[in-house]
Structure 1
């Protein structure tokens, strides 16, 4: 009897690995689970990108709803989404920026050249706040409701299609 079980173990291990790879193959990498959905934005104390002498914290973001957008100048996808973020800001969508592991001077030049859609921009040079948020890379965008609770996490660029198909309704609901 023990020999049969011993012979079945490699087969069971093979099946388990196969199921894992099969599920990974057909999952959408932009649909990463976030342990923070349904929880408040984590506490932090970091400088303002445009005024580094001024410290910011979660209370600096003000009342929601808002988009918390993780971005960097070294990120080509961030550049691709930036024009649309300017469009959203012009339409009254509140966007808070989290400048992630970036050179502050480059980030300030970027905003001066491409426009600044952010009501506030937090400088996360070390990436500590991003780690607390569970950020894998840039860009990532979180929808935060009126109570400061994260309602949704989007990995990848925010563009017109993503906004219309996914984020616009969630943003509106976060304001209710």
Structure 2
């Protein structure tokens, strides 16, 4: 009988491992959702640079007893432009929306808000992206639902659409309010 080389076993074993991982991924609740290590945990400290002419928010704001959204955005982000009217709608409904301008040029960010409106109750700048790293940001836009004690209830990566508001954001806001 021929002796089987360990090198001959490697390809089928590697293929099997990939098949198992793919199978696990297919049976996740939402295969498009990016995992968040922050959900259910206290929001990381937030120390931002002032956005001239705007109210700055800080770590204490996240724990002020009020349910809120924290939205990471940038003027160079096309999906941020798409979601912006929906953030304005939520803000107009009285939902506090706080903005973090991510790795952006100040003049471009100011033009963005002048053109599209400012839905943010307060806003700060994360010029180097250090705060975003602590929050586990994948990219912009990204929105977090925070309960009144500063716990992350939901992290949503991608633009907030009407469907996302109804199916994802509103249920998370209700959950945050009920805690």
When normalised by structure 1's length, the TM-score is 0.87
CA contact 1:30–1:155 (8 Å) conserved in 2: no
Q: CA deviation at 1:57?
A: 2.5
Query: Partners of 2:52 and 2:4 in 1: how far apart?
Result: 68
Q: Secondary structure at the match of 1:141?
A: strand
**Where does structure 1 lack aligned partners over 5 or more consecutive residues?**
none
Query: Partners of 2:5 and 2:56 in 1: how far apart?
Result: 61
Q: Secondary structure at the match of 1:175?
A: helix
Q: CA deviation at 1:63?
A: 3.2
For 1:34, the equivalent position in structure 2 comes to 36
Q: CA deviation at 1:26?
A: 8.2
RMSD between aligned residues: 2.4
For 1:8, the equivalent position in structure 2 comes to 9
1:71-110 aligned within 5 A: 71-110=73-112
Q: 1:41 to 1:29 in 2, by over 3 A?
A: same
Point out the more displaced range, 36-45 or 96-105: 36-45
For 2:115, the equivalent position in structure 1 comes to 113
Task: Map Cα deviations across residues 88-125 of structure 1 (whole Å, 9 max, x no partner).
Answer: 10011111111110011211221122111111111001
Query: Partners of 1:60 and 1:152 in 2: how far apart?
Result: 17
CA contact 1:66–1:144 (8 Å) conserved in 2: yes
Q: 1:55 to 1:157 in 2, by over 3 A?
A: closer
**Where does structure 2 lack aligned partners over 5 or more consecutive residues?**
none
Q: CA deviation at 1:35?
A: 0.8
Query: Partners of 1:51 and 1:43 in 2: how far apart?
Result: 23
When normalised by structure 2's length, the TM-score is 0.85
For 1:141, the equivalent position in structure 2 comes to 143
For 2:133, the equivalent position in structure 1 comes to 131
Equivalences, count: 173
Point out the more displaced range, 78-87 or 42-51: 42-51
Q: Secondary structure at the match of 1:32?
A: coil
Query: Partners of 2:127 and 2:80 in 1: how far apart?
Result: 17
Q: 1:164 to 1:24 in 2, by over 3 A?
A: same
For 2:154, the equivalent position in structure 1 comes to 152
Q: CA deviation at 1:4?
A: 4.9
Task: Map Cα deviations across residues 51-73 of structure 1 (whole Å, 9 max, x no partner).
Answer: 48x87531134433111111000
